[in-house]
Amino acid sequence: MKPLDRADLEAKLMVNGHGGAQESRVLKFSKDAKEGPLFRGDPIKGMTDWDTAVVSLKLKDNWTHLRFSHHSDGKGGH
């Protein structure tokens, strides 16, 4: 496997909060001295818990969607 050409890669994040709130962010490529290459987005303010998050990656006109689910049992634990 070879590293992706990041000049061709777009990344977006969409988060659904409990109660129907929805936020989206464009993720920008950056390099961190400790973490290495990564994508960062602006903070989502006011969302304390979330239900579903989707990270979308676009490379050469093709989108790939990665879905993450986070369900709380309502008892304060995750």
Tokens for 23, please give them. Answer: 């936020």
CATH class of 6-69: mainly beta
Give every strand in the sheet of 62-69, ordered side by side.
Answer: 36-40, 22-32, 9-17, 50-59, 62-69
pLDDT on residue 77: 46
CA 23 to chain centre: 11
- Tens digit of each residue's pLDDT (9 = 90 or more) over 11-65: 999 999 988 889 999 999 888 889 888 889 999 988 888 899 999 999 888 999 9
pLDDT (0 to 100) of residue 6: 67
Has this prediction a pTM greater than 0.75?
no
Torsion angles phi and psi, residue 4, rounded to 5: -70, 145
Burial 37-57 (b: 16+ CB within 10 A, else e): eebeeeeeeeeeebbebebbb
